[in-house]
Amino acid sequence: MILMTLLVIGSLQIMAINYIRRMDDFESSRETHREDLEKMSSMAQFVSFGIADDPRPPLLGIFAVGLDQKMSSSYSVPGYNIFGGGNTESPIQYQQHSEMEGMEMEGSKYSNPIFSLFQPPDFVYVVNIVLSLLAILFAYDCICGEKEDQTLKLMLTNSVPRDVVLLGKWIGGTLSIVMPFILAFIVGVALLSTNSQLQFTDEAWKRIAMILFTSTLYVMVFFLVGMAVSTFTERATTSLIVSLFVWVFLVLVVPNIAPVIARQIKPITTPTQVSAEEESGNREMVDEYKTSLDKATRGENADTKGVQEKLRKEMKESMASMVKTKETEWFNRLENQTRLAMNISRLSPSANFIYAASNIAGTGVDEFFNFRQQVPQFKKDLQKLTEKDTKELFDKDPAKPFPPNMFIKIKTQNIPYLEITTLNFEKSVKAAAMDLGLLAAWLIALFMASFIGFLRYDVK
Amino acid sequence: MLGILIKKELLDNFYSLRFMISSVICVFIILMSVFVLRQDYITKNEAYQNTIVKGRELAAESENYMELMFMGIRAARPPSKFQFLYTGVEKNPDIRTNIRSMLSPTFQGDLNFNPVLSLFPVVDLMFVVSIVMSLLAFVYSYDAVCGEREKGTLKLLMSYSVPRDKIILAKWIGGYVSLLIPYFIGVTGCAILIVSSSALAYNGQDWIIFALTIFVSLLFIAVMYSLGLFVSVISKRSNTSISILLLIWVIFVLIIPNMSPFAAEWVSSEILKKDIPSVSQVRAEIQVKTGDQMEDLIITMLANFEKVLQRHLPGFTWRNFKFGGEEREEAEQKQQQQEQGPGRQAQKEMDNKQEGTSGAQSGGQAQKEGSGLSGDEKRQAEAAGVNASDITSIMGQLTEQDLRDIKTFGCRSFLDNKLKQLMDMSLDDAKKMAAQYGMKASDIDNMLDECEVQKSRYLARLNSEIQKQGAEGGDTSAAQTQTQQKAAPEQAQTDSGEQKRYSWDDLQKIVPNLTDQDKREVTRDFWGGFVETSQSNMRETSLLWEDRNNAVAQQIALTKNIARISPVSAFIFAVTDLADTGVEHDIYLREDYLGTYQDLLSKFLESQLGMPYDKMPGKFDPFGIIREPPKPKQAMKEFQKYDYTPMPLMERLQNVVIDMFVLFFFMVLFFMLAYVSFLRAQIID
């Protein structure tokens, strides 16, 4: 009990400190990038350096780090991908249209590689591993232990129906673990709310309440796992060992094997291969453009510029559509694979809990897909912003030499930040709904199982 | 005697339910996960090989060497041969990289992956040993002594003339051996899976490493089993024993390792005050340091270009050149002037004539507006007004140093700094304050605008100086007229109607006809300076990277030392470092693998281009960046194929010595504790 309280409060504190550090990091990093921008007086510098920005760390990462480790990074757009009209014959021109490439992620903010060796000890982790284990320890001997102590026989000699006994045990046992847990959580969150560096909005409070609800549901499920095993075993020791194995299987094995199996069932090519394909497609199109330009302008010198513009436009369009088809197809396959992995792992209440909690906290799979869709928007915004400034210049004559562009000034104050619109509360809950439902289903199924087990239980 | 006791222990265990269940589960998990992960590794390895080959192919497609230098060669993080047994840091690492000759390469992340993988730890052989086997070690040992005491069999056993030390030794050996049976079945399965796959091709060193990892695992299991036995000896009842052990297990396996990186980050930032800058911050720092040099270079080159063009187009200057955007810019300016009214325009004109006037004016404006308020507010507003005039007075007294600062740091941060020096207030604060007291934030924007004007004037002056220097040997009279134009840009603008304004069409007619001599002249200063700048850039870059890498390495060492409180982390460090999937391997890849690859590319370019760099201008022409292609297509065949060599065995052993020692120490400690406390234990209650 003390261990649990300490763990819950401690992990919340550690992750809060971590969040404040990330926030500092984020602010100083953003400041550095902006200062950098201020110093760039000309387009030449933009072209060589590009523009970088950081996404804001999620506040509720304190409760569930989830995929934040993979998302938190500086995102920079190289200049040649911003100034769309620039080097028309560049072999990586396709990156301007690409959603997979064209932005650079400068490594994770969690720079210590040991972060990838161990899971982060956030609240979700504590509940997922430690509290589920604790719930099993509370429940493993609740029937067979009493049988060994002979007290069960004694109790049933009174005219108490078996279902009432079981219900009483369930309610009493669940309360005795859930109440201290909720208390520890409230104390931990209260400590967080006294920290002036953390500001929780109303929506954040709603999410926190949802996280508590989900965790409570999960703890109850594992109490029932212990109880169900207990009604099917004769001795407490056997019950403990069997429940421990069930725990290992449900918490550790199923969720971990699922994505690897999904990868085998629905394999996809690597993103590097896709972009390599795009790059060679790019080269082919540029070659084609060059030969047809050659052909068209060889004969009469009537309208070289017009032809060139037309061909260039065609090339751009076909490149955009090539990139789009390739990437949409790939992303669809990736999403299918992800959904399959999730569905396989949903056999385990632990996976249900993690999906639900991380989605509510805004660091889950759905939030990740939302994030991934929005990041390329940053590039598009930058392109749109500078298009006006550079369009005339480049469109007039695409074969223009490089240097004089430097006289064009970029209005740095208009440059957008990388701000991600996170999923709102309703959407997050909707994303978590299925897993919440499954947790409830586990609850009912396990209670039914222990009910049947107990009705048939040999008390003597 | 000992033999009989061990046999008894073994038989005891073999007939128990836990042995059956645990063996089945252990073997099942190991075989299934390793089989699946092996397939996964094979696909990953194929993808890696593909990327390398494709990267070379694409590099060979380059039009010319310059393109190759800028685009670089696509490469990827090589997978480790052991990652399907001990995944370690290879779970979902950043794999893509682009080797360029002039930028320090790093591994880059992307968002194109299956996110479910990152939510859970991977189940592999290491996971089975560190989590499942450690739990099993406790499950086997928790009642080894206290269970027998509860049942009364221990009393019976002791009534025979059996020495206590033999009993405890037999318990240790018997339990340990029965614990190892499922492990060895699983490991044998792994070995069969390795041999049966032709794609893996393990060599002698790999098998030695495989054996070493098994040895480390045995050591670790012994540690956990001894700890369990110790707790079993000292606790009276088996229920107490298992509760204590589970608590220890949670702390050792689930908490200490996971907390360690967070704790280390906290310690190094709060106590040691050492923050690690992020990669992008280092990059930004490098840009700041070298960006200005590059800009100067480009300005120099343009000046040279201008000079050359003047021979063909009399009176040509860039200032006078029609870039194509001017009409729009002028229209925009007009629009702005219309919007903001004539007052602003008048002010601007005054600015142009006399610096500092605008300061007084806007300060006065601020005070005027402040007078509309009453009482307290008024006093505050007055204070703010004074501040505002302070701000504006800054612009009146710009020194040469200030101008240089403006050029290097940009207007915003220059003003920010100035304000901080003067009244400990940032620019944004000043803006906010102005807005709060009903004043126009645009005053401050005006300041910024004026600062920009100053900056461009300063740049123009610098330009003209460069021109002057460049023109000294050439046509002096032309240079003089230019200097005059540069020094007074406003005048040039008004006079532009009289002079001929050249445009792209003129330039296009001239450029193809330039002689080699001309081209060389244009690039002369630029190329030498460019090489120098990139070299100093490389030096600075590598220094900054080294700093950062050292900071990261220190933090890693700290993390490791914190984590080593738990034998589980020591085991994980040892086994992953041996298997080339550990933290040291990660560092090795970042520093050695990428570095060697980059060196190779640089050397290749050097040999192909006939370095040193100063010979290059003859080969390149500056228009459209080097159209004269020494095609690298055939040349790329000579580019030595770079095969990744894994870290040598001895180096790996050096890395894991401490961890093995820690494990050994824990084993001896726990065994001795169990041994001694059993010798002293009270058997009869």
Query: What b-and-e string marks burial along A359-380, b requiring 16 or more CB atoms within 10 Å of the CB?
Result: bbbbbbbbbbbbbbeebbebbe
Which tops the pLDDT comparison, B403 or A396? B403
Please tell me the least confidently modeled range out of A86-95, B464-473, B638-647, B651-660. Answer: B464-473
Q: Residue B58: closest CA among chain A residues belongs to which residue?
A: A280
Distance (Å) from the alpha carbon of B532 to chain A's nearest alpha carbon: 17
Residue B462 has pLDDT above 60, yes or no: yes
User: Which residues of chain A does B88 touch, with a Cβ-Cβ cutoff of 8 Å?
Assistant: 117
Percent of chain B with pLDDT over 90: 14
Q: What residues contact residue B245 under an 8 Å CB cut-off, 6+ apart? A: B138, B141, B142, B227, B228, B231
Taking an 8 Å cut-off on Cβ atoms, the answer to whether A38 and B413 are in contact is yes
Taking an 8 Å cut-off on Cβ atoms, the answer to whether B71 and A21 are in contact is no
User: Which residues of chain A does B273 touch, with a Cβ-Cβ cutoff of 8 Å?
Assistant: none
Which tops the pLDDT comparison, B323 or B248? B248
The single-letter code of the amino acid at A89 is E
Q: What pLDDT shows up at residue A156?
A: 79
- Compare CB distances from B258 to A73, A104, A118 and report the shortest one's residue: A118
Going by pLDDT thresholds of 50, 70 and 90, the confidence category of residue B662 is: very high
Taking an 8 Å cut-off on Cβ atoms, the answer to whether B21 and A242 are in contact is yes
- Compare CB distances from A272 to B96, B291, B559 and report the shortest one's residue: B96
Q: What pLDDT shows up at residue A25?
A: 82
Taking an 8 Å cut-off on Cβ atoms, the answer to whether A106 and B283 are in contact is yes
Q: What pLDDT shows up at residue B563?
A: 92
Taking an 8 Å cut-off on Cβ atoms, the answer to whether A105 and B110 are in contact is yes
pLDDT, mean of residues B451-460: 69
> What is the Cα–Cα distance from A16 to A11, expressed in whole angstroms?
8
Q: What pLDDT shows up at residue B74?
A: 84
Identify the bridge partners of residue A108 per DSSP, sorted by sequence position: A73
**Based on the number of CB atoms within 10 Å of its own CB, is B598 exposed (0-12), middle (13-18) or buried (19 or more)?**
buried
> What is the Cα–Cα distance from A185 to A7, expressed in whole angstroms?
10
Q: How many cross-chain Cβ pairs, A to B, lie less than 8 Å apart?
A: 341
Q: What pLDDT shows up at residue A421?
A: 85
User: Which residues of chain A does B139 touch, with a Cβ-Cβ cutoff of 8 Å?
Assistant: 241, 244
Distance (Å) from the alpha carbon of A159 to chain B's nearest alpha carbon: 32
> What is the Cα–Cα distance from B221 to B131, expressed in whole angstroms?
11
Distance (Å) from the alpha carbon of B628 to chain A's nearest alpha carbon: 15
Q: What pLDDT shows up at residue B676?
A: 93
User: Which residues of chain A does B508 touch, with a Cβ-Cβ cutoff of 8 Å?
Assistant: 397
Identify the bridge partners of residue B96 per DSSP, sorted by sequence position: B76, B108
Low-confidence residues of chain A, pLDDT below 70?
Answer: 39-49, 83-89, 91, 107, 299-305, 386-412, 460
Q: What residues contact residue A316 under an 8 Å CB cut-off, 6+ apart? A: none
Other beta carbons less than 10 A from residue B528's beta carbon: 15
Identify the bridge partners of residue A53 per DSSP, sorted by sequence position: A75
> What is the Cα–Cα distance from B494 to B320, expressed in whole angstroms?
11
Q: What pLDDT shows up at residue A403?
A: 40
Residue B214 has pLDDT above 90, yes or no: yes
Tokens encoding B12: 């005891």
B328 touches chain A (CB under 8 A): yes
pLDDT, mean of residues B424-430: 63
User: Which residues of chain A does B298 touch, with a Cβ-Cβ cutoff of 8 Å?
Assistant: 44, 403, 406
Other beta carbons less than 10 A from residue B40's beta carbon: 21
Q: What pLDDT shows up at residue B446?
A: 66
- Compare CB distances from B131 to A39, A69, A252 and report the shortest one's residue: A252
- Identify the residue among A11, A39, A128, A363 best suited for mutation to test binding to B, counting B beta carbons within 10 A and taking the highest: A39
Q: Residue A65: closest CA among chain B residues belongs to which residue?
A: B119
Taking an 8 Å cut-off on Cβ atoms, the answer to whether A365 and B115 are in contact is yes
Which tops the pLDDT comparison, A152 or B288? A152
Residue B503 has pLDDT above 70, yes or no: no
> What is the Cα–Cα distance from B156 to B141, expressed in whole angstroms?
20
B560 touches chain A (CB under 8 A): yes
Residue B353 has pLDDT above 50, yes or no: no
pTM to 2 decimals? Answer: 0.75
- Identify the residue among B278, B306, B404, B411 best suited for mutation to test binding to A, counting A beta carbons within 10 A and taking the highest: B278
- The per-residue pLDDT for range A431-457, each reduced to its tens digit, is 999 999 999 999 999 999 998 988 887
Residue B23 has pLDDT above 50, yes or no: yes
> What is the Cα–Cα distance from A246 to A253, expressed in whole angstroms?
10
Residue length, chain A? 460
User: Which residues of chain B does A260 touch, with a Cβ-Cβ cutoff of 8 Å?
Assistant: 33, 36-37, 40, 117, 122
Going by pLDDT thresholds of 50, 70 and 90, the confidence category of residue B480 is: very low
Taking an 8 Å cut-off on Cβ atoms, the answer to whether B321 and A241 are in contact is no
Q: Residue A398: closest CA among chain B residues belongs to which residue?
A: B624
Which uninterrupted H or E stretch holds A51?
strand A51-53
Residue B391 has pLDDT above 70, yes or no: no
Range with the largest mean pLDDT of B135-139, B273-277, B597-601, B643-647: B135-139
From the list B590, B572, B592, the residue with the least C-alpha distance to B582 is B572
Taking an 8 Å cut-off on Cβ atoms, the answer to whether A371 and B111 are in contact is yes
Other beta carbons less than 10 A from residue B91's beta carbon: 16
Q: What pLDDT shows up at residue B633?
A: 64
Q: What pLDDT shows up at residue A269?
A: 83
What 3-state class would DSSP assign to A201? Answer: coil
User: Which residues of chain B does A402 touch, with a Cβ-Cβ cutoff of 8 Å?
Assistant: 623-625
Distance (Å) from the alpha carbon of B375 to chain A's nearest alpha carbon: 34
User: Which residues of chain B does A15 touch, with a Cβ-Cβ cutoff of 8 Å?
Assistant: 262
Range with the largest mean pLDDT of A151-160, B112-121, B209-218, B409-418: B209-218
- Identify the residue among A24, A89, A118, A352 best suited for mutation to test binding to B, counting B beta carbons within 10 A and taking the highest: A118
> What is the Cα–Cα distance from B434 to B452, expressed in whole angstroms?
21
Distance (Å) from the alpha carbon of B123 to chain A's nearest alpha carbon: 6
